[in-house]
Amino acid sequence: MLNWKINQKIFEALGTKTDILGIHIPADKVKPVTGDLIQAIQEQFYDLENIFVPAKSYCVALVYASELTKDFGGRMTDYLIDTELLLNDIHYEHYNIRPEVYNYFLTNTAWQQSPMADRVRKYYQQEIHLEGFET
């Protein structure tokens, strides 16, 4: 098993107290995507007040794949095809399910400077590198 996957499982087993956005999100702020998925994902990268599923999961997967590529090499798609990239995220759809959606964001990378990407990177550091998490 790869070191980052071991750390991910350790992080989960320790039972952290924050979600990926570092805040408690009331159920009334979690909404299903009803229109164009690509547009919803683009909007989710800039809206931290409302959570649209599965758009949030795509955002997280893209950021994780980008960071894993920087830290461990390979291509983003190497990580996006992993069905366990996002542990316990019931909304996560890996690359092989919706390659056209991921391909759009692999070629249009403005999302990397978004508020959501910044927030996810902080969580990634906690989960994958076990940095400064609370138990």
pLDDT at 49 over 50: yes
- 73 domain-assigned: yes
Distances 14 to 51, 94, 97, 128 between C-alpha atoms, Å: 25, 25, 31, 13
Which run of H or of E encompasses 58?
helix 55-72
- 113 domain-assigned: yes
- 79 domain-assigned: yes
- 134 domain-assigned: no
For residue 42, what pLDDT is reported? 97
63 or 11: whose pLDDT is higher?
63
Number of independent structural domains in the chain: 1
By residue range, what is the domain housing residue 76?
Answer: 3-129
DSSP string, 60-114: HHHHHHHHHHHHH-S-HHHHHT-TTSSTT-TT---TTT-HHHHHHHHH--GGGGS
Residue found under tokens 């996560």: 92
pLDDT tens per residue, range 54-73:
999 999 999 999 999 999 99
For residue 134, what pLDDT is reported? 53
- 103 domain-assigned: yes
pLDDT tens per residue, range 107-120:
999 999 999 999 99
- Give this prediction's pTM: 0.88
